[in-house]
Amino acid sequence: MLTLQFIPYSEIENLDSPSRIDKILDVVKQNKIVLMQGRLKPEEETLLIMETMSQIHKSFKGVEICTIYPEEKDLQLFNKFKKEMVKFLIGHRDGVTIVGPSSVVKEIRRNPNKVELFTIPGMASMGSSRKSTVTRKKATKKRTVARKKTTKRRTRGRR
Amino acid sequence: MAKKTTKRSKSSKAKTARAKSSKAKTARAKNSRKRTAKPKGKSSTTKKKSVKKSKKSEESFVIRFVRNFVRRMISNMFAKKKNIKLGIYGPPNAGKTTLANKVCHDWIGEKMGSVSKVPHETRNVNIKEEVTIKYDGKEMGFNIIDTPGIATKIDYEEFMSFKMKNKQAKSRAKEATKGVIEAIKWLDDVDVCLVVLDSTENPYSQVNVTIIGNLAARDIPVLIVANKTDLKKSNIKRVENAFPQYDVVGISADKGKNMEEFYESLFRLI
């Protein structure tokens, strides 16, 4: 099961940058994909990267981020002014930010008008208790070794 | 009322102070006249002396002016020119260190760092100071700052696929995370920035957008370098379309292809 959690702009409107990032990372660490209304500032994006880097360990290997926002190309002066006024009044609500844990989201491919989200097969359903590929391989090895040992003992016993 | 009285008292105090100061001025002027007054009968000699003195003062002024001018010229000639801090940013394995090596090799005959196919080979910020680059009769000094690749995820298991042991891979991952943080911190200390991208890969990645957005927010001039143009899959037009507001140069740092155009656009940027 893949869980998407929506964070409306009203929830982060009054938060400062570090607490916004903490909020996003808290959700991501629960192996959920965050869909946030609005976009982070460039400084907040770097802060998010720095924070994820400082929190990386065995079970948390990073995030995949993508921001989509309407491009402001060839706007007339009046329209520009109108947009700026709206931004000033209601905040930067334009666009959507997607943040997912790298253990679930393999890649987010963004073309100008399209976003493709590739998940790791079988990982999304495992939730937070999932094991890494290496640990799973090790576990299967151990199991096979144990099986071999038991079969050997049985054969000796029969003899 | 109380306020009015205090105002009046203040104004009267000010008046008395002004009167005192004017008295003192007149007294100083009298004294100075007394000092400058000289005995009568010696006026011709004093005139000659004064002419001589004025000539001397003129000469000394000219000499002082010339001396200061020469001093300034010499100090300017030998003063250390401030080098431009040239940051090299980009995602891992884009060829940042290869480009830094190529530039350093071209102008000072040295290499800057080791290069490998394993991502996050550069895990510390490397600085090469005083690299003077000449192009078209111009000369500029640079401090080249080669940074670790910026990424949003680091998985030690990825390193294990390059035949690394578990412990080694984990320590490399830890160093890589620190390197990314260090690279981001250096964004504030850069004058000009080269964003090196792999031209064979999708340029619309969030890391590229974040780096360029941050540089734009800080008003730092950016040159996008589309590297690995010698490979078949490379597509410079895709990079140009992704970042239409920036100058894009296609090069192969490994093969040294199109470096002339790279230097030209670097000088144009500054």
Tens place of pLDDT per residue across chain A (159 aa):
788 899 998 888 888 899 999 999 999 999 899 999 988 888 899 999 999 999 998 888 899 998 887 766 666 777 777 777 777 776 667 788 999 998 888 888 877 677 888 888 766 554 444 445 555 566 666 777 777 777 777 777 766
Mean pLDDT across chain B, nearest whole number? Answer: 80
Question: Stretch B148-160: mean pLDDT, rounded?
Answer: 89
**What is the chain B residue with the closest CA to A57?**
B174
Position A158 in a domain: no
What are the structural domain ranges in chain B? 52-81, 84-269
Position A151 in a domain: no
Q: B257 or B33: whose pLDDT is higher?
A: B257
Q: Which structural domain range is residue A121 located in?
A: 4-128
Instruction: Please report the ipTM that was assigned to this predicted complex.
Output: 0.70
Who contacts B54 (Cβ-Cβ below 8 Å, separation ≥6)? none
Domain count, chain A: 1
Q: Which of B118, B202, B188, B111 is nearest to B154 (CA)?
A: B118
Position A63 in a domain: yes
* Sequence-distant contacts of A16-23: CB under 8 A, at least 24 apart: A17/A41, A17/A43, A17/A44, A17/A47, A18/A47, A18/A51, A20/A44, A21/A47, A21/A48, A21/A51, A22/A51
- Under a CB-based contact definition with an 8 Å cutoff, are residues B215 and A43 in contact? no
- Candidates B150, B206, B222: best to mutate against A (most CBs of A within 10 A) is B206
Position A152 in a domain: no
Question: Stretch B155-159: mean pLDDT, rounded?
Answer: 85
Diameter of chain B by CA atoms? 108
Beta-bridged to residue A109, according to DSSP, are A116
Q: Which of A5, A70, A63, A83 is nearest to A39 (CA)?
A: A70
In CATH terms, B84-269 corresponds, of 2.40.10.10, 3.30.930.10, 3.50.50.60, 3.40.50.300, to 3.40.50.300
- Cβ <8 Å between A43 and B155: no
- Under a CB-based contact definition with an 8 Å cutoff, are residues A56 and A28 in contact? no
**What is the chain B residue with the closest CA to A66?**
B206
The region of weakest confidence among B135-139, B182-186, B211-215 is B135-139
Question: Stretch B22-32: mean pLDDT, rounded?
Answer: 50
Give, as one character, the DSSP assignment of residue A120: P
Position A109 in a domain: yes
Position A142 in a domain: no
CB-based contact, B184 to chain A, within 8 Å: yes
pLDDT at A130: 46
Position A139 in a domain: no
pLDDT at A134: 52
pLDDT at B50: 60
Position A156 in a domain: no
The region of weakest confidence among A105-114, B76-85, B131-140, B228-237 is B76-85
